Structure formats: structure tokens, C-alpha cells
Amino acid sequence: MTDDPHGETHLDGNAAAGTLAELFTFDVTVAVGRCAGCGRVSTVADTRSYLDGPGMVVRCTGCDSVLLRVVSSPERTWLDLRGLAYLEVDHVTEG
């Protein structure tokens, strides 16, 4: 834990890693996201993706804003999600 100047405590990002790892194993096709541009809520299936550029770009069907960008080098991948106001992912139910 780290004390910050406001007397609050927070954990470093490793504490979030478990949660994030869990999130990013989801079946993205059933996730729902909100466009930070126009507010449209849609599934991945209901977006427009451009795969033949220098990276992958997923755009909003409503306003063409960029929802997310993915660039991969041989060593690593970058993910930019600033075009998404949120991403909603259902918990996996067993059975």
C-alpha cells in the first residue's frame, strides 16, 4: 500500500491485474460498449472494424468515432480504449 498526500491509500496496479486478466478473457463478442463520442451502446458485432491498416481500428456504427485501436509489434501489443466510455461484460455462468 502507498500513502498518498491526501491521506488516502491505494494499491499499485498489480492489485488490479487479477481483475483485468479476468476481464480480458471474456468473449468479446458478447461485451457491450458505449461510444465516448455519441453515446451509442453496442456489441462488438455491431461495430465497424478496419483490419488492413497499420493497426486494427474499431469504429462506432452511429458516428464513425474510433472506439478502440490495437497495434501489435513482434514483441508486444498496444490497446487504446479512449473512445469507449465503458465496456460491460457479463460474468460467465457455469453450466
Binding residues vs other proteins (CB under 8 A): 48, 50, 52-55, 57, 59, 64-66, 69-73, 75-80
60 interacts with, out of Zn ion, other proteins, none, CB within 5 to 8 A per kind: Zn ion
Q: Is 60 in the site for Zn ion (CB under 5 A)?
A: yes
Question: Grid coordinates in use for 53?
Answer: 491498416
40 interacts with, out of Zn ion, other proteins, none, CB within 5 to 8 A per kind: Zn ion
> Distance (Å, rounded) from C-alpha 67 to C-alpha 59?
5
Q: How many CB atoms lie within 10 A of CB 60?
A: 23
Q: Which of 40, 55, 71, 81 binds Zn ion (CB under 5 A)?
A: 40
Under rule CB under 5 A, which residues in 18-37 are in contact with Zn ion?
Answer: 35, 37
**φ, ψ of residue 45 in degrees (nearest 5):** -60, -30
Nearer Cβ to other proteins, position 26 or 37? 37
For the chain, the distance separating the N- and C-terminal CA atoms, rounded to the nearest angstrom, is 38
Instruction: Give the angle 95-24-34 at the CA atoms, nearest 5°.
Output: 100
Which residues form the interface with Zn ion (CB under 5 A)?
35, 37-38, 40, 60, 62-63, 65
